[in-house]
Amino acid sequence: MEIERGAGKIAKTLRVMLPDKPGYLGQLSSAIGMSGSNIGDIRMVRIGLTHNTREMTIYVDSEEHLEQILENIGKVDGIIVEDVIDLVHQRHEGGKIAMKGVRSLQGISDIRKIYTPGVATICRDIQRKPDLAQRYTVIPNQVAIVTNGTAILVLGDIGAVAGMPVMEGKAVLFDHFVGISGIPILIQNRDPKVIIETVKNIAPTFGAIKLEDIAAPECFEIEDALDELLDIPVLHDDQHGTAVVVLAALLNAIRYSGQMLSKATIGVIGLGAAGMGISKLLLAYGVKEVIGSDLKEDAKTMLDAAGGRGASLATVMSEATIIIATTGCPGLIKPEMVRKGQVILALSNPNPEIDPELAMASGAAFAADGKSVNNALGFPGLFRGALNVRARRINNKMKIAAAKAIAVCAEEGELVPSILHPDVHRSVTEAVERAALESGVIKPWE
């Protein structure tokens, strides 16, 4: 069953009853096509004496578009729409994850080994030598996915519970791509101190902490504090996962402009979590000049402190040879702002700061939007590699290694590889392991 086709399209399934006579399926398809919708899967679900029932996936722009299609179908005599199924809602019903046992229970003997009395032996062993928890529990393969719901995707501050479907989605990706158990942790509180204290107290349950969709500037304070307090990796994905994939994209994009990344002047428009994370990683990579603009003066001051330079939007556009925009403001970059030969990554989804085709027509050497720059290319392997070698931190060397591994996996003509590339997550994992070993952040065994 198909879920989506094309950016911005909504997938729906129509369950339709048609007379079992020639021509009716064609009339149905015509009514849908004339309404401006593509058709996906068609399958027979029921065969009757005089009518057949089929399910047909269609792609609509909005609920109003769907209503128009249903109205056109209603004009065809003999065809009845029994139901309209929303495929996205269907996929989320009941949630997308579950905690399950991985040991079989065939009889009372198994219960005695897995639970009482046998489990007491394992508990006493860990009490005497805590490091044995790394061998005899799920802790080293378990990552907390922590959010307070203040910066959910493009939705903004919608609260932790409303953000749960995103956290579940991250957990599914963890499991599917690298076999990590991701556990969503919802903290319905905006106070950084509450979040820090909560995560500190539950940290013994996990091998690493993944902060997710927490708004700036609180996200910076929370990550810095937890990094100091905990002896396990802590990573705010909106900052660092995004930064890793953007760096990978730049390593490939600069080929189109003939620039050297380390010598380029890079402008970052929007210094929230993603923009600041990108700026810091580029500086760590060795970029000599990163200039950034933001509506908040505090954000530009933070960039100054990190080694970059705060500036106005006009200055960024006039001085930078590479532009990265993460503002969430469609159309912010006007065609007249684009300078000949610039590389422009307008990463806000679903609508970029400038359409790539318009940027190219305005003189850019290369332009792309955020549809392919998905941080899910980075975070699974980053955490898998860190957990595999018991890293205490995920440092810049590990992030840069991950970015290089992602860039290498891109096929000809791609900025970054597909998230479903067969080798990308394994390659990132191996690169992160090597970088962790080389940079000395491995936790010694007790």
DSSP classification of residue 259: -
Nearest CA-CA partner of 25 in 73, 87, 71, 59: 73
| Diameter of the chain measured on Cα atoms | 78
Rounded distance, CA 390 to CA 42, Å? 49
Backbone angles phi, psi at 266, to 5 degrees: -105, 130
Joined together, the tokens standing for residue 76 give: 């065809």
Show the DSSP H helices in 24-138 as ranges: 24-34, 63-74, 87-92, 108-114, 119-128, 133-136
Alpha-carbon torsion 266, 268, 271, 276, what sign?
negative
The residue type of 370 is: G
Is the distance from CB of 387 to CB of 140 less than 8 angstroms? yes
CB 199 within 8 A of CB 226: yes
Cα–Cα distance between 407 and 7 in angstroms, integer?
23
d(CA 16, CA 21): 14
- Catalytic residue of the set 21, 115, 129, 296: 115
Assess whether 256 carries a catalytic annotation.
no
| Residue 62 dihedral angles phi and psi, to the nearest 5° | -165, 175
Instruction: Determine which one of 12, 170, 399, 404 is catalytic.
Output: 170
DSSP bridge partners of 142:
181
Q: How many angstroms separate the Cα of 327 from the Cα of each of 154, 216, 338, 352?
A: 11, 13, 17, 9
Q: Tell me which DSSP letter residue 30 carries.
A: H
Beta carbons within 10 angstroms of residue 262's beta carbon: 10
Among candidates 243, 239, 173, 237, which has minimal Cα distance to 208?
A: 237
How many Cβ atoms from other residues are within 10 Å of residue 266's Cβ?
Answer: 25
Q: Which two tokens stand for residue 200?
A: 């500190």
Residue 396 near residue 284 (C-beta atoms within 8 A): yes
Q: Report residue 389 as tokens.
A: 């070698």
The CA-based dihedral angle spanning residues 7, 8, 11, 16, taken in that order and rounded to the nearest 10 degrees: -110
Is the peptide bond preceding residue 352 cis, with omega within 30 degrees of 0? no
Establish whether 115 is a catalytic residue. yes
What positions carry a catalytic annotation?
115, 170
